[in-house]
Structure 1
Amino acid sequence: MKIKIVKNSGDVVDFDPEKLKKSLLKSGASQIVVEDILHKIGNEIYQGISTKQIYKRAFSLLKKEANSHAARYNLREGLRLLGPAGFFFEKYIARLFTAEGYITVTNLILQGKCVSHEIDVIAKSKDVIVMIECKFHSRREASSDVKIPLYVFSRFNDLKEKQHVIFSLKDTMSKCWIATNNRFTSDAIDFAKCSGLNLLSWDYPKNNSLKTKNDIDCLYPVTCLTTLSIAEKDKLLVLDIILAKELISNPDKLERIGLSSSRIKNVLKEARELSKCI
């Protein structure tokens, strides 16, 4: 009999060990370690167990093996900890675009043809200027529905009618992105495709999503780290340390938030390991 598990959304699905195995291998853990974790979890799960409980157990077992493995596995939770308001999620998205060769600015107010708009991120690459709207969800089961791209599309159309002073004196918007830490509904994706909007979410686009971008650039947020408390992560975010790899060149920030020399050593070790692409 197949084991039924309960997702964060409340949906009941079959337990898929292959899916869990894939996410565990993505953490950097060896095949032997992953098989051992799968064996232990397989002996512990029961009908109706939640995906959250399975995640917590897998995270705990990975952490015993290596902090950096657990930190990679912790990416989605790390993104959620960039809240609750989402201001630091906007900075994280700006970092992603910067890594891809864009010049970025955050939190600008621009006058459109009809009304003014507060824009989360604006990015420029060559002659292309991109408006990026960020939709942050603190609840894991929340999704961005079609109302979001409808609303953002209307704002983009209002803004692209005018020239703006951003990177030069006469800048015009040419593309629009919407980024979320969770997922888009199928209607939201369909509308975006039809209207020429670009979407970025936890699992979309399939091969260039938040889940997969770190495979290339290792841009894990500092909130993924397992050697820091939530309060310490929040202090680093306030100091504009958004990415784990930024700690490597700014170790003084760890001393500034009150960490001892031994803890600083452990945090930097995890940050270095996490910043090595696998």
Structure 2
Amino acid sequence: MKIIKHSGDIVDFDRSKLKTSLLKSGANESLVDQVIESIEKKIYEGITTKSIYKLAFSLLKKSSNSHAARYNLRVAIELLGPTGFFFEKYISRLFLSEGYQTRINLTLQGKCISHEIDVMLKKEEIITMIECKFHAKREVNSDVKVPMYILSRFNDLKDKTYPIFSNNDKISKCKIITNNRFTTDAITFAMCSGLDLLSWDYPINNNLRTKIDNNNLYPITCLTTLSLSEKDKLLILDVIMVKEIINNSESLEKIGLSTSRIKNVLKEASELCKYI
């Protein structure tokens, strides 16, 4: 059976790929097989992957909100848009959880011109500038022009010192992060030029998805027990990570949730982050 991907490409329906993605939700194999059987009864020639995703999400949610939330991860990251502001804050919190010092939204004067820097990291005296490339649409990838441009910015900044974490800091590394993917040429150029890349699926064993899943660093937009407007209100209150509400329900009270709603949200959050 032929299905249509986000990119518009037409491919064969692959049961094993669907099973792999469903298992990543935390659901056991028996439940995953039941979900796939239900989906196979409903799919048809030319169905979109987006429609298949909606079916899978709905079926998982009937079993467990946290399974559905984990399966919803990529969409949840897209909900940090439409601009890149909350994605940048999320990336900062992600590295903060890994033991880095972080700063966001800096403007630094390079040798030639000034530059706005999305995120700065410091760990073991190594200071890294991060450029975040957020895309609201799944099919948009970062091509080779992105690392070429970022390299020129890094080169303009790296030979000077700045008051970032201390009064005399020097930027020694550069990393580009996207919520989507890099093209093959972009990866090749970055490797050749000494730039680090992080995307949804790159590097293979330490990509954005694995960082999030392995350390339970889920964005607040994952939660299925909150509406879109409630998620937006929490982001405005600077609540970015699901972990940030588990032992602090005050923010949920601030956005007007009832006691019973708060209980449901905290239950999902705790199961999602395995605080049970």
TM-score bracket for this pair, using the shorter chain length = over 0.9
How far residue 236 of structure 1 moved from its aligned partner, in angstroms, is 0.4
Per-residue CA deviations over 1:49-79 (Å, capped at 9, x if unaligned) read 1000000000000000000000000000000
What residue number does 2:139 align with? 141
What residue number does 1:187 align with? 185
C-alpha distance in 2 between matches for 1:16 and 1:86:
33
Amino acid at match of 1:114: C
How far residue 145 of structure 1 moved from its aligned partner, in angstroms, is 0.9
Amino acid at match of 2:192: C
What residue number does 1:27 align with? 25
Aligned equivalent of 1:60, options 58, 61, 65: 58
What residue number does 2:8 align with? 10
Amino acid at match of 1:133: E
Per-residue CA deviations over 1:221-272 (Å, capped at 9, x if unaligned) read 0001000011100110111111111111321000000111100000000000
What residue number does 2:152 align with? 154
Query: Contact 1:215 / 1:277 at 8 angstroms: preserved in 2?
Result: no
Amino acid at match of 2:269: A
C-alpha distance in 2 between matches for 1:237 and 1:5:
35
Per-residue CA deviations over 1:115-146 (Å, capped at 9, x if unaligned) read 11010000000110000000100111111111
Per-residue CA deviations over 1:76-128 (Å, capped at 9, x if unaligned) read 00000000001010011111211221100100001111111010000000110
What residue number does 1:267 align with? 265
1:93 corresponds to 2:102? no
Unmatched runs of 5 consecutive residues or more in structure 2: none
How far residue 44 of structure 1 moved from its aligned partner, in angstroms, is 1.4
C-alpha distance in 1 between matches for 2:209 and 2:47:
24
How far residue 210 of structure 1 moved from its aligned partner, in angstroms, is 1.3
C-alpha distance in 1 between matches for 2:247 and 2:175:
30
Q: SS at the partner of 1:232?
A: helix
How far residue 277 of structure 1 moved from its aligned partner, in angstroms, is 8.4
Aligned equivalent of 1:206, options 195, 204, 207: 204
C-alpha distance in 1 between matches for 2:23 and 2:135:
27
Unmatched runs of 5 consecutive residues or more in structure 1: none
Amino acid at match of 2:153: R
Q: SS at the partner of 1:29?
A: coil
C-alpha distance in 2 between matches for 1:100 and 1:121:
15
Aligned equivalent of 1:40, options 35, 38, 41: 38
Amino acid at match of 1:6: I
Q: SS at the partner of 1:151?
A: helix
C-alpha distance in 2 between matches for 1:164 and 1:137:
30
Q: Give the direction of change, closer, same or farther, for the CA distance of 1:53–1:198 in structure 2 (3 Å limit).
A: same
Aligned residues: 276
What residue number does 1:169 align with? 167
Amino acid at match of 1:242: I
Query: Contact 1:217 / 1:277 at 8 angstroms: preserved in 2?
Result: no
How far residue 214 of structure 1 moved from its aligned partner, in angstroms, is 2.1
How far residue 30 of structure 1 moved from its aligned partner, in angstroms, is 1.4
C-alpha distance in 1 between matches for 2:75 and 2:192:
31
C-alpha distance in 1 between matches for 2:173 and 2:274:
32
C-alpha distance in 1 between matches for 2:238 and 2:124:
26
1:235 corresponds to 2:227? no
Q: SS at the partner of 1:143?
A: coil
C-alpha distance in 2 between matches for 1:260 and 1:24:
32
